Amino acid sequence: MNAGGRIEREYGLGRKRTDLLVIWPYPAGLQKAVIELKILHKSLETTIAKGVEQTWEYMDRSGAEEGHLVIFDRAEGKPWEDKIFRRKEEYHGIPIMVWGM
């Protein structure tokens, strides 16, 4: 990664693991971002609710300043414009970006 950053895959946080933890140097220390990946099952709102909670937990455990939840919709025949979205959610007052694709 540029500027000495790195991406940790399946980064262990106690008994749990985040899918991706992005770490890069910053003048005040290290910046961290959690990226949690989910496949859409049944309800989009349920997937988001559970995923945001999990992303927040990983952010809290890793000391990350940013959290992103990426949801993959594998429904056949569904137009891309119905699959792709971006929205901001909050959990315990912490913003988490949710990306649909």
Which stretches in the chain have pLDDT values below 70?
Answer: 1-3, 9-18
Strand partners, 39: 72
- Model pTM? 0.85
User: For every residue of 46-77, which 3-state class applies, written as one string?
Assistant: HHHHHHHHHHHHHHHHHCCCEEEEEEECCCCC
What domains lie within the chain, and their CATH numbers? 2-100 (3.40.1350)
Tell me which DSSP letter residue 28 carries: T
pLDDT of residue 3: 62
pLDDT of residue 11: 54
Mapping DSSP to helix (H, G, I), strand (E, B) and coil, where does residue 42 land? coil
pLDDT of residue 48: 97
